């Protein structure tokens, strides 16, 4: 990593999810000694607190095809500004979710920094789900199933047009890793988008090392840096039981660490977020603790 100051930004949003609880994710990850673990590997930590988020009980749900979209977009705009300011100040943003809809804000903030300088940012998205629905294809209307589509320019303008340009990331510079649950109509978006998707079958057949090497090449080709978006449901529920939408058959503990170690080794990661930690269904904060371990692996902690 090029920077030694980590700017922690919490985004305690669960309006994009169908199950409550991930709004407590930032607190759970901080409680798992995040700041101390980062300091132990040589980083200065600047915890910027949380962006403002409305509670679902206090706001109308809105259209069923994109529930709470205006409120999510407002949070994403606040988050984008915080992330942009952190990158501009020479810090490495570490965003704590919250559901995955916050990525529309995080990626917008990082993208704007490089866009304003005539550059591009790549994106590595590690997730059990493709997150490439739009309001027209989503079977649930939950916006946390749409953020990757928004980042590559498909979806509601409230999220695709933050800072008035789209896409935030060229889909040819996006690697989607670990998917194993894709909605029927979402498949067409994945296939036609230009995003390079690696399913769990690909990982099983080729091995994670080969997948990560290719993903890093994709996200680094012609870009100034890449952003990492890590959904904890990419890890198998036996290791990460407390996530927003668990799906069997995910990455093992060591596969997840290897992915983070390789991303850290390449030296081209500008920023990251970790999302969908749900303490309500977790086991004694296991998933938040694993999230902290994976963050520190991505930021340079090694076995030797």
Three-state secondary structure of 18-64 = CCCCHHHHHHHHHHCCHHHHHHHCCCEEEEEEECCCCCHHHCCCCCC
Q: One of 23, 255, 276, 282 is an active-site residue; which one?
A: 276
E strands along the chain, which residues? 5-11, 44-50, 92-97, 121-126, 174-179, 196-199, 225-231, 269-275
Task: Provide the pairing of β-strand 5-11 with 121-126.
Answer: unpaired
Instruction: Tell me whether residue 169 is exposed, middle or buried, using C-beta atoms within 10 angstroms of its C-beta: 0 to 12, 13 to 18, 19 or more.
Output: buried
Rounded Cα distance between 100 and 146, Å, is: 9
Tokens 């498909």, residue?
A: 154
Q: One of 78, 100, 227, 257 is an active-site residue; which one?
A: 100
Rounded Cα distance between 287 and 282, Å, is: 7
Is residue 144 part of the annotated active site? The answer reads yes
Q: One of 3, 129, 227, 257 is an active-site residue; which one?
A: 129
Is residue 129 part of the annotated active site? The answer reads yes
- Residue 227, CA atoms < 13 Å, CB-side half-sphere: 31
Is residue 3 part of the annotated active site? The answer reads no
Is residue 127 part of the annotated active site? The answer reads yes
Is residue 276 part of the annotated active site? The answer reads yes
Tokens 């009980």, residue?
A: 57
Q: Please name the helix (run of DSSP H) or strand (run of DSSP E) that holds residue 217, with its range, or none.
A: helix 208-220
**Alpha-carbon distances, residue 228 vs 8, 54, 110, 138 (angstroms):** 14, 26, 11, 24
Cβ-contact 78, 84 below 8 angstroms: no
Q: One of 78, 84, 144, 227 is an active-site residue; which one?
A: 144
Q: One of 131, 158, 236, 261 is an active-site residue; which one?
A: 131
Question: How long, in residues, is the chain?
Answer: 304
Q: Where are the alpha helices (DSSP H) in 49-139?
A: 69-88, 103-115
Q: One of 170, 231, 236, 255 is an active-site residue; which one?
A: 231
Which residues carry out catalysis? 100, 127, 129, 131, 144, 231, 233, 276
């Amino acid at each position: 990593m090029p920077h030694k100051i980590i700017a922690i930004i919490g985004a305690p949003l669960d309006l994009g999810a169908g199950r409550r609880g991930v709004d407590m994710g930032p607190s759970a990850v901080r409680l798992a000694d995040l700041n101390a673990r980062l300091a132990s590997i040589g980083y200065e930590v600047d915890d910027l607190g949380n962006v403002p988020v409305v509670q679902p009980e206090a706001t109308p749900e809105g259209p069923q095809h994109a529930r709470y979209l205006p409120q999510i977009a407002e949070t994403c705009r606040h988050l984008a500004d915080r992330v942009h300011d952190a990158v501009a100040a020479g810090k490495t943003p570490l965003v704590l979710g919250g559901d995955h809809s916050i990525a529309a804000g995080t990626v917008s903030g990082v993208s704007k920094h490089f866009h304003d300088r005539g550059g591009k940012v790549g994106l590595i998205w590690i997730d059990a789900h493709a997150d490439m629905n739009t309001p027209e294809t989503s079977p649930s209307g939950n916006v946390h199933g749409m953020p990757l589509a928004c980042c590559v320019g498909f979806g509601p303008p409230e999220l695709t047009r933050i800072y008035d340009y789209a896409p935030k990331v060229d889909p040819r510079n996006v690697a989607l890793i670990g998917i194993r649950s894709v909605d029927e109509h979402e498949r067409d978006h994945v296939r036609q988008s230009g995003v390079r998707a690696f399913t769990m079958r690909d990982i099983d057949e080729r091995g994670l090392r080969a997948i990560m090497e290719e993903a890093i090449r994709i996200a680094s080709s012609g870009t100034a840096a890449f952003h990492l978006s890590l959904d904890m449901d990419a890890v198998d529920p036996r290791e990460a039981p407390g996530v927003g939408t668990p799906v069997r058959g995910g990455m093992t503990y060591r596969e997840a660490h290897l992915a983070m170690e390789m991303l850290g080794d390449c030296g081209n990661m500008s920023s990251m977020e970790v999302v969908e930690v749900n303490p309500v269904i977790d086991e004694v904060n296991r998933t938040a603790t694993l999230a902290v371990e994976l963050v520190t692996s991505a930021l340079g902690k090694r076995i030797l």
